[in-house]
A and B are shown apart, each in its own frame.
Chain A
Amino acid sequence: MIEYTIAMVMVGSSLVGCISGALGGFAVLRKQSLLGDSISHAALPGIAIAFLITLTKNPVLLMAGAMIAGWISTLLVMAIVKRTIVKEDAALGMILSVFFGFGLVLLTIIQRLPTSNKSGLNHYLFGSAATLLASDIKLMAVLSVITVIGLLLFWKEFKILSFDSDYAISLGYNVNHIELILTFLTVTAIVIGLQTVGVILMSAMIIAPASAARQWTNRLGVMIALSALFGAISGLIGATISSQVDRLPTGPTIVLVMSAFVAISMVFAPAHGLIWKRNRRS
């Protein structure tokens, strides 16, 4: 019989892996994987402001704050790239570090507040899967279902946007709207994972499963499914290992398991794998 907290951690981690894997697929295909890094760092001030306004650690409100901040950060990156000479890499790096820095300012202010329930916000920095409660898991599950429904509903639009956005325009799709919807779902996926993995390593959750899945297939549907599967399995394995070994943080362990998936896939995947390429050559 698995202990209650460990079961919570395992369910939570595989849920996070699954959703970020699925949405990460599009981010990687659209060469926007680092947007995830920027969004997750930018969520920190959102969480802090939500706490400062309400002075409660209600997870719904904190997640709402994170989503709003993540959303604003994405719009800012898009505006800077579209309207100025500053390129995407610099825009992402600025938003990431400035929002995070501002988040730190707010966190230090919160730490000096006389209220009693402020501890725990620091968990969002490095993640703290061990403190996941059933209520947190429920909220994560609800958001995951919404994300998956959104993904299935706009599947065709996301597909055409990822591979040929000019064609999408010529077919009369409003590419900007599709992009906004996809970004919204990505922000949601990232926010779901923040409490478990933390803002710093969340980008790996978006990139790694999708990069592993990409090695095995050229079909979008298969890739997204594989990516979600890899994410879920790494979440489960990582959470299990870290629960069995003393003082092994969950987030970094999951990231290492995921990266092992990427390494194995890069070497052994039939269509792209390095090992097959070498055999073909000889």
Chain B
Amino acid sequence: MNPQIEIMIIASIVSTACVLPGVFLVLRKVALMSDAISHSILMGIVVMFFIVGNLHSPLLMIGAVATGIATVAITESLIQSRRLKEDAAIGLVFPVFFSIGVILISRYAGNIHLDQDAVLLGELAFAPFNRVILFNRDFGPLALWTMGGILITNATLIGVFYKELKLSTFDKALATTLGFSPVIIYYGLMTMVSITAVGAFDAVGSILVVALMITPPSTAYLLTDRLSRMLGLSVIFGIASSITGYGMATLLDASIAGSIATMTGVFFLIALFFSPKQGFAIVYFRAKRQQVDFAIKMLLVQLLAHEDRADAFEMTVKHMVQHMDWDSRFADKIAQSAVLKGFVLRDRTRLTLTPLGREMAREALIR
């Protein structure tokens, strides 16, 4: 396989592995824990590196995951102590871990390939060079195997505990009375987030992990309120962002992780404006259309009320301007669209109802 295709496949797998737990983070309103965890794991990786002395030991992963879970536990206990509010507690713990990580790197790890830039920013372009070679055979990039494994684990866990996760996300009280421990489910989810973040950090960097865990699920949330559809749409947006993001990076010769993060934002922006239910543009045009529809009805009713005095001033657009306090251009537009819809006939300034218009006006009055 050529490296470009490999990168796109790795990016798509990373994005799918990230959006699956991400959907639940967004729904549980703890999205920022992904930010906290993905920064904290730096310290775990560095500390374990000093103990083990090898950058590719699985112990590094274990240390990092432990730091992620410790971040969650310390943040929770700070909140429980009631000395700090939730937002402040989240914002206090991870900078400490991250600072320790950065200090350790700059003091002791000057010569090895471990710098804060790589952890934060990742370098997907290098992923195809780090390959799994067994018995003189090439089994593809290492990142493909680790992230593939993490993706399968995440998908299996979410599949098996779907009911429990769903219930405890939407109705915590009921889940507790039914005997699902919310603590176990919460920490289970956070462990999944930590493992995913640790696995992804060296391929894509922690910022992209945050972008992928939060943005595609939020985009999906704008489009549906069914959990299963939200999961499916998130996966689609994640993969779409990975592929278009890689294209953008190649085009501009820029950071791949940054480009993918940017594309997740572009998809969100599109949904933000054009989501059928709550898109800004859609809501705006719907309000405009309702305004026009209502104004036409007002015009028809007004015409119906004054129909007997056929040539009266009441039958003109000018009167509508005075009577309804309409802007004259708006009144003209309303009259025109009433004509177009066949409700009204216009003879210079005078307006008369058509039979259809008369019917509409009566209907509007009854309702």
Do A98 and B81 touch across chains, with their CB atoms under 8 A apart?
no
B344 within 8 A of A: no
CA distance A85 to B110 in the complex (A): 46
Determine the interface band of chain A, counting residues with CB < 8 A from chain B: 35 or more
Q: Which residues of A contact B218 (CB under 8 A)?
A: 86, 90-91, 94
Q: Which of A9-17, A57-65, A101-109, A158-166 contacts B (4 or more CB under 8 A)?
A: A101-109
Q: Which residues of A contact B30 (CB under 8 A)?
A: 89
CA distance A143 to B257 in the complex (A): 34
B260 within 8 A of A: yes
Known: A98-B268, A204-B92. A255 touches B83 (CB 8 A): no
Q: Per-residue CB proximity of B290-334 to A under 8 Å, as 1/0?
A: 000000000000000000000000000000000000000000000
- Give the shortest distance, in Å, between A268 (CB) and chain B (any CB): 12
Do A112 and B87 touch across chains, with their CB atoms under 8 A apart?
no
Closest chain B residue to A252 by CB distance? Answer: B99
A36 within 8 A of B: yes
Contact of B91 among A37, A86, A215, A248 (CB under 8 A): A37
Q: Which residues of B contact A103 (CB under 8 A)?
A: 258
- Give the shortest distance, in Å, between A227 (CB) and chain B (any CB): 12
CA distance A122 to B365 in the complex (A): 68
Do A97 and B83 touch across chains, with their CB atoms under 8 A apart?
no
Do B120 and A207 touch across chains, with their CB atoms under 8 A apart?
no
Known: A102-B265, A252-B102, A272-B83. A112 touches B95 (CB 8 A): no
Q: Per-residue CB proximity of A194-211 to B under 8 Å, as 1/0?
A: 000000110110111011
Do B99 and A34 touch across chains, with their CB atoms under 8 A apart?
no
Q: Which residues of A contact B100 (CB under 8 A)?
A: 252, 256
Secondary structure class of chain B's binding surface, majority of residues: helix
A83 within 8 A of B: yes
- Give the shortest distance, in Å, between B124 (CB) and chain A (any CB): 12
Q: Which residues of A contact B249 (CB under 8 A)?
A: 105
Do B88 and A253 touch across chains, with their CB atoms under 8 A apart?
no
- Give the shortest distance, in Å, between A16 (CB) and chain B (any CB): 15
A249 within 8 A of B: yes
Do B214 and A34 touch across chains, with their CB atoms under 8 A apart?
no
A26 within 8 A of B: no
Q: Which of B31-39, B149-157, B184-192 contacts A (4 or more CB under 8 A)?
A: B31-39
A32 within 8 A of B: yes
Interface centre among A104, A259, A274 (most CB of B within 10 A): A104
- Give the shortest distance, in Å, between A97 (CB) and chain B (any CB): 4
CA distance A72 to B179 in the complex (A): 45
Known: A107-B255, A215-B83, A248-B103. A200 touches B120 (CB 8 A): yes
Closest 3 CB pairs of A and B: A101-B261, A104-B258, A98-B265
A interface residue numbers (CB < 8 A to B): 28, 31-34, 36-37, 80, 83-94, 96-109, 112, 122, 125-126, 200-201, 203-204, 206-208, 210-211, 214-215, 246-249, 251-253, 255-256, 259, 262, 266, 272, 274
